[in-house]
Each structure stands twice: as structure tokens, then as C-alpha cells.
Structure 1
Amino acid sequence: MKNIVSSLRLCVSLAALAVCLPLAAQAQYDFSKVPTTGAGGTMMNDGRSSEPTPADPRTRARIHTELGALYFQEGNPAAAIDHLSIAIQVDPDYATALSVRGLVLADLKEFAKADADFSRALSRAPNDPEINNNYGWFLCETGKVRESVAYFERALRDPLYETPDRAHTNAGNCLLRIGELESAQRHYLQAVRLSRTGAVPARLGLADIFFRQGNADEARIYLNDALRMMEPASPAALWLGLRIERKAGNRSAESSFAAQLRGRYPTSEEYQQFLKGNFE
């Protein structure tokens, strides 16, 4: 069976920008929080606002990190690396810049350099939940699944972590890769419970688990929940829906999913699997 995890997005944080990166080659980004440095300034002891100056190393590093993140978002990793490297040169202890550069390098498959950046970031901020989540994603992506879960769990130990659903989803995705369905299901359910945005990847993961277990009714419930939140439906979701209905013997629904997959994503890997008849 084609593992739906290969098309699910692992969620990482890019310079405090919420980002979902796929395991497949084509990246998709979901930016929901952009930090600002120049507008607000800092507060002085007497309560007056003081605008940060370009001479402040941390402020300069933050600005270059944000620029690097935006260039990465726009598909220009070379410019992203340039700005992130400036940020690190200006402020070598700025862990966020190191972590974001690690993400960009990982996307470029410069795995040894990415690992070095993540290690430096963790040495400076060992308990930062975003950095731990990002490094967990990196380890999972490079085949170190069991090691990755420890970093997701470390991120989840921070009671102030703003997006714990992301780490739960990542842990579920990674555990699903190695067939640990019970543990993956537990993390997915926590992601659904904690998410403020619907936890679509976690719902797809749960649908996949129930499909594997032969429970078409439960699989259909979670898939339909995810589809209601997706516009448009992804090829992975349509492919899973097709296989759920095929296993349930619902030929009409199976044909509907097949028509959507063919019409929207005729060059997708999922549609090629359909043409080959690889339903399991």
C-alpha cells in the first residue's frame, strides 16, 4: 500500500513563521505568523518606546532571518541562505537563524550542513520547542525515525509551546512510517484535540490508520472531515478516499474519487498508482 505519509506535510516552524513542509519534492508553505522587528521597537525602563538601531546585533540578525525565511517561502533558497548566513555572522548565538538555515539546507539536501546547524541551534537553545520540532522533522526526513520522536516529545514538554499540534502530527507521521499504528494514532488524536486550525494532516493520518485496519467507516469519517477543510482536495486525500471506497465496495464513490484524481492531478504519483492498479 502506498503510504499516505509520503504525501502528508510535516509541520515545522520557520523563524516563528508556521510552515508545513512536505516529504515529497514540491514544497508547500503555510505561513500564519510573521514576526516584526522594525515597527514596535523595545521598551525602556521608564516605559518609553525605543526604536531598535541597525547597530543592535540581535535586531539585525532577526531582520536578516525574516528576509531569509521570506526568500525561502518564495522559492529562492540561494538568497535565503545569503541572508541567514549574514544573520549568523552578525549574531552567532541566534539559534533561530541557525535552525531556519538548517531547514533550508535540508530542503537542498545538504544534510550534513543542516545537521551541523541544528546541533549549533540546540546547543544555544536546547529547550526551544520550535527548534526541537524542526530537528525532529529533519531526523525523520533523513530516516532516523525513532530518534526524531524524542525531539517532538521534548518540544511538547514546554507548556508555553503555541503549536503543540504540529509536533504531535509530526510524531504521528514518523511513527506511521515504521508501522507503529497505536502510537501514531495517539499523537494524531492529540493533534486533533489541540489544533486551532482543524488538524487536516492529522485527520488524514487517522483515516489512513483506520483504512489499514480495515475500518472503512471510521476512515471515511476522518477523511470527510479533512476534505471539508481542504480546498482543493490534495491528490493524497483523493487517492486515500478512492481506496477506502474500493475496499468498502462502494463503486459509485470510488468512481467519483477516481474522476477527481484524473481531472485534477493526471500527472500525480497517486494517479499513476491508480493506473497501475496498486491499491494496496
Structure 2
Amino acid sequence: MMHVVGAVVLAAAVLVIGACASTGSGSDDDVEPNEETAPINVSLGAQYLSQGELNIANMKLQRALEQDPNLATAHWTYALLQMRLNRADLAEQHFIRALALDPKDSLAHNAYGTFLCDRGRLPEAQAEFDKALDDPLYEQPETALTNVGVCALKGSDEKQAEDAFRRALARNATFIPALYEMVRLTYDQQRYAQTRQFLDRYAQTAGHTAHTLLLAVRTETGLGNRDAARAYAARLQQDYPESRQAARVAKMQRHGI
């Protein structure tokens, strides 16, 4: 399953690539028709990829690469698809090609960093995130900062992780992936009062999921607030009655929450 931050990387790609496609040089007589069309196919491929339509995404992205083999966005978006397909070698080939074509592409550096982090190559991942963050024109540094935190957790550095997540939230106080990571981190550290605060911020921005409602039940239980825990449990069972989280709450209730 794609990590939440990987999904955000892809969502950012859809927006940026779509903007590039819509503002492309359609009136430039020096641009070949295939080169004009390639960014559109990249945008479509990214959209289909974000929707889980992998076969159609593959078709669109392969067509874009055929139309313009030197289009960096086509290579790294195709690399994201290969990540989803668990084809690590092919993904890395296209990330490297993308960055060779456009070494200043901060989205590509961030995406490649995510790939490296997923494979446990943490120092290399950090180097890619740093390159993205060094770009003053990078419009979504909170994404790379959150990825820095995720990688730090993989390396068991909770202090660096929290610092990165807080820096991400300083840039964008409603950035869902960073809020979620702070919920997880503070809960794992049994800092339940802070977990509650981050859960509230998360819910105000994105609404509750079955998973965050279960975390709310456990957080309030940890704080000794049995009434609040029961209220969250009732909401979970009402809103997501068939979920695994609802089944877990039912088991907890049998043991007296």
C-alpha cells in the first residue's frame, strides 16, 4: 500500500503536471505535435495513477515517453507507477533519468527520496529531500519535510522526526500527513494529551476515519476519560459498522472501556 505521504507526492504531481499541460506552449510553432501532447498524457497518467487505474495510467505514461523521451516529468511519474507495481529496478532507472534531464526538479527529488526511504536507503533519501528543500521555488516544502520525518522514524530517530513534522506544520498548519504522523508519534510515546490535540486538528481539517476514531478511543482511554472513549466508540460503530476498527472497539467494550 502506498504510504500517505506517497499519495500526497502523487497528488502534488497531478496538480503540477496538470498545470504544466494546461499552460504548455501550444502556440509555439517550433514544438513538435508529439512534444505538445506528451505533457497532457503525463497529466492523465498521473490522474489515473492517483485513482488506482494502473493499466490506463501505464498506457498514458508509456505513450508520453514515446512522444517525448526527454520529458523529465514523464520519467518520474512513470517511476511512481513502477513503485506501485513493485518494480523497484525500473522505477529507479526512470527516477535517475528524470533527474539527469532536469536536476532542479524538486518534485522529482522528493519523489525519488520517497522511493529511497521505502527501501531503507535513508542517507540517500535525506540527500534527495535536502535538494528539494534547498529550492526556494519549491511550493510544497511541507511534503518533503514530512518525508524527512517518516524516514527519521524508520531510523528510530524520534527527535528528528518530530522536528521535521513540526517544521512541516509551521509551513502548513493543516497539512494532513504531518498531522497524522504527529498523532501516531505522540500516541506511541503515550503523550496522550498532545495526541488528542493533533487528532482534533486532523478531524477539523479532514474529518475522522475509522482509524482515527479508534485512535481517539484509545487516546481517551489512556487519559482516563471513559465517557469520551465510549462516545468515540459509539461514533465509530455508527459510522463504520463493518470496519475492523469497529470490531476492535467491540472487543474493547467487552473488556470494559
Within the alignment, does 1:228 sit opposite 2:207 as a pair? Answer: no
Match of residue 90, structure 1, among 67, 74, 80: 67
Match of residue 151, structure 1, among 128, 133, 146: 128
TM-score, with structure 1 as normaliser? 0.78
Secondary structure of the structure 1 residue equivalent to 2:19: coil
Which deviations, in whole Å up to 9, do the C-alpha atoms of 1:5-32 show, x marking residues without a partner? Answer: x974435444xx516xxxxxxxxxxx65
Amino acid at match of 2:235: Q
Alpha-carbon distance in 1 for matches of 2:242, 2:114: 27
TM-score, with structure 2 as normaliser? 0.84
Pairwise CA RMSD of aligned residues?
Answer: 2.7
Counterparts of residues 175-254 of structure 1 (less than 5 Å) = 175-195=152-172, 198-231=174-207, 233-254=208-229
Q: Which structure carries more relative contact order (alpha carbon 8 Å, separation 6+)?
A: 1
Match of residue 6, structure 2, among 3, 6, 10: 10
Shift of 1:241: 1.6
2:19 — aligned with what? 35
Alpha-carbon distance in 1 for matches of 2:123, 2:212: 26
Which deviations, in whole Å up to 9, do the C-alpha atoms of 1:242-263 show, x marking residues without a partner? Answer: 2211111111121222223333
Amino acid at match of 1:200: I
Shift of 1:144: 3.2
Q: Which has the higher strand share?
A: 1
User: Structure 1 residues 269 and 70 mapped into 2: Cα distance closer, same or farther (>3 Å)?
Assistant: same
1:260 — aligned with what? 235
Shift of 1:125: 2.0
Secondary structure of the structure 2 residue equivalent to 1:109: coil
Where does the alignment leave 5 or more consecutive residues of structure 1 unmatched? Answer: 1-5, 20-30, 43-48
Counterparts of residues 126-165 of structure 1 (less than 5 Å) = 126-165=103-142
User: Structure 1 residues 74 and 202 mapped into 2: Cα distance closer, same or farther (>3 Å)?
Assistant: closer
Q: Which moved more, 1:50-59 or 1:112-121?
A: 50-59
Alpha-carbon distance in 2 for matches of 1:218, 1:208: 11
